[in-house]
Amino acid sequence: MTTLLNGPLLSDKPVSSNATDTQPVLEQAGTGLVGPDKTSPWLIFLVFLRLGLTSFGGPVAHIGYFRDEFVARRKWFSDQAYAQLVALCQFLPGPSSSQVGMGIGLARAGYPGCLAAWLGFTLPSAVVMIFIGLGHSLLSEGLAYGLLSGIKLVVVAVVAHALWGMARSLCPDNARATLAALVAAFMLGLGGGLGVWGQLLAVIAAGLAGWGFKLGLAAPSHATAHSDLDVRRAGSNLACAGDDGGPLDPRSAQSTRHAGFFWLSLFTLLLFGLPFLNSWMEGEFLVGLADAYFRAGAMVFGGGHVVLPVLQSQVVEPGWVSNETFLLGYGAAQAMPGPLFTFAGFLGAATSVPSVLVDAFASPWTMVLLGLFTLFFIFLPSFLLLAAALPFWQTLQQQPSLQSAFYGVNAAVVGLLFAAFYDPVLVTAVTWSLDLAIAVLFFVALVYWRWPVWLIVVAGGLVGVFYL
């Protein structure tokens, strides 16, 4: 009984009890060494390719699929080790489920395994979204105004739901909620005129405020994250990696920490260097794209829906993508398995290039490369932060001052996203009282009726066609 996806190529052989369960996950990921049961990157790619073809439902569902595959079925990780990895990825910005996949690849086969996991999980939906982006003009011609109007209201409900869940998780006390509100007010006022530098200033100031006021240390968090894990509680439990209670803190060589410093330095350089380079080069097209998508990937916690207001402000305002095209791509992304961040591939392939570059980007294959370009930069922060944090995760968890700074940064990100949600998402979608009523109804369907997002999108399109 062997098939391509369940035969010798994807062996169900569990790791030995003295391999994964007792070997610290971070040690494996940090060094690229996985002991006697090392897994080939090709096998990892095929496993994640299957998951990328079948994993519908968003980050929460993805994390459940991963647990079924790698903990229950293949026994590559213990429940505790897997929970630790999930907790770390919830703590970091970026698409949480994709980061968990990267971490699994890192733990099993080092950096090649990380790349294989990301490619396998991302490739199916990315290919489809890029080619939809190439033909978006043909699709949009056949869409009624009402259909797009309905999807606009769906976006309002979905993003509001995602932001509310993230706010409960990252701002569970009055201090962090106040900090988030101050950042939102700053960005809607003075900070909006500063552009990207206003965002970076707000994040730095919030981190310093968190460090100075020791945010998050006085009262425990009772909110749940997107994975239904309490991030702080799960993070504090990282001291137990395996069934034997062995520490997660790596016993690796000093070079492992040097690698962590390298990835963190590269992340910092790109986060601050790309905006500077973009300003210095007076908005050079590719540099501007790299800057916009890298910051979008670096400023978002939890999942794909939360990135929508950031992406919309980054790509619609400069005129790279029209609001109608943006909504068309969002609707298409709901029907895709795998990470919603592949929406960036659609946006890259559908980008309107400057007139002086039209000839250079005339080929459809060039636009495919542009879609791959935007995909690379929106996922790049996830890898850099994961690779940087893994060797130091246990140490960071034991430093209250650093924890407080991170709590401040997390609160700032919530404020940034609420500001982006108000403008442009809310102000462009809700123009009269009926719009608001429909958006509230969709929000209730998500929160209380537990409708999946794809069904909300379908309902929004029908409401738009028949009533708007």
Bridge partners (DSSP) of residue 301 are 94
* DSSP of 39-92: PPHHHHHHHHHHHHHH--S-HHHHHHHHHIIIIIIS--S-HHHHHHHHHHHHHS
Q: Which of 303, 235, 232, 252 is nearest to 106 (CA)?
A: 252
How far is residue 118's CA from residue 102's CA, in Å, rounded to a whole number? 6
State in Å, rounded, how far the first CA of the chain is from the last one: 54
Query: Looking at 67, 99, 122, which one is the last position of a domain?
Result: 122
Q: What is the pLDDT of residue 83?
A: 76
Q: How many domains does the chain have?
A: 2
- Per residue in 231-276, pLDDT (tens digit) is 333 333 333 333 333 333 333 334 578 888 999 999 999 999 999 9
Mark whether 114 and 135 lie in a shared domain: no
Mark whether 95 and 132 lie in a shared domain: no
Asked whether residue 235 is assigned to any structural domain, the reply reads no
Mark whether 331 and 454 lie in a shared domain: yes
Give the residue numbers spanning the domain of 66. 8-122
Q: Does the pLDDT value for residue 422 go beyond 90? A: no
Mark whether 26 and 136 lie in a shared domain: no
Asked whether residue 51 is assigned to any structural domain, the reply reads yes
Which amino acid, residue 294?
F
- Listed ranges 59-68, 76-85, 113-122, 413-422; the one with the highest mean pLDDT: 113-122
Q: What is the pLDDT of residue 119?
A: 97
What mean pLDDT value characterizes the chain? 77
Q: What is the pLDDT of residue 60?
A: 66
Mark whether 189 and 308 lie in a shared domain: yes
Binned at pLDDT 50, 70 and 90, residue 137 comes out as low
Binned at pLDDT 50, 70 and 90, residue 143 comes out as low
Share of the chain above pLDDT 70, in %: 76
CB atoms within 10 A of CB 16: 13
Which amino acid, residue 108?
R
CB atoms within 10 A of CB 307: 29
Mark whether 219 and 316 lie in a shared domain: yes
Query: Looking at 85, 107, 122, which one is the last position of a domain?
Result: 122
Q: What are the CA-CA distances from residue 172 to residues 198, 293, 302, 394, 414 (Å)?
A: 25, 29, 15, 23, 12
Asked whether residue 181 is assigned to any structural domain, the reply reads yes
Mark whether 200 and 98 lie in a shared domain: no
The mean per-residue pLDDT over the stretch 332-339 comes to 82
Mark whether 154 and 105 lie in a shared domain: no
Q: What is the pLDDT of residue 301?
A: 67
Asked whether residue 276 is assigned to any structural domain, the reply reads yes
Return the minimum-mean-pLDDT range out of 43-52, 289-298, 328-337: 328-337
How far is residue 407's CA from residue 175's CA, in Å, rounded to a whole number? 10
Q: Does the pLDDT value for residue 216 go beyond 60? A: yes
Asked whether residue 244 is assigned to any structural domain, the reply reads no
Asked whether residue 230 is assigned to any structural domain, the reply reads no
> Quick one: angle between helices 308-315 and 285-298, nearest 10?
160
Beta strands, E only, 181-340 = none
- Listed ranges 152-161, 293-302, 362-371; the one with the highest mean pLDDT: 362-371
Mark whether 161 and 277 lie in a shared domain: yes
Query: Looking at 63, 87, 122, which one is the last position of a domain?
Result: 122
Mark whether 263 and 196 lie in a shared domain: yes
- Listed ranges 121-125, 132-136, 146-150, 445-449; the one with the highest mean pLDDT: 121-125
Q: What are the CA-CA distances from residue 431 to residues 293, 424, 435 (Å)?
A: 29, 12, 7
Mark whether 187 and 53 lie in a shared domain: no
- Per residue in 393-418, pLDDT (tens digit) is 767 767 777 778 878 888 887 888 78
- Inter-residue contact 461 to 335 (CB < 8 Å): no
Q: What is the pLDDT of residue 275?
A: 92
Q: Give the pair of three-digit tokens for residue 109.
A: 């086969």
Mark whether 15 and 154 lie in a shared domain: no
Report if pTM > 0.75: no
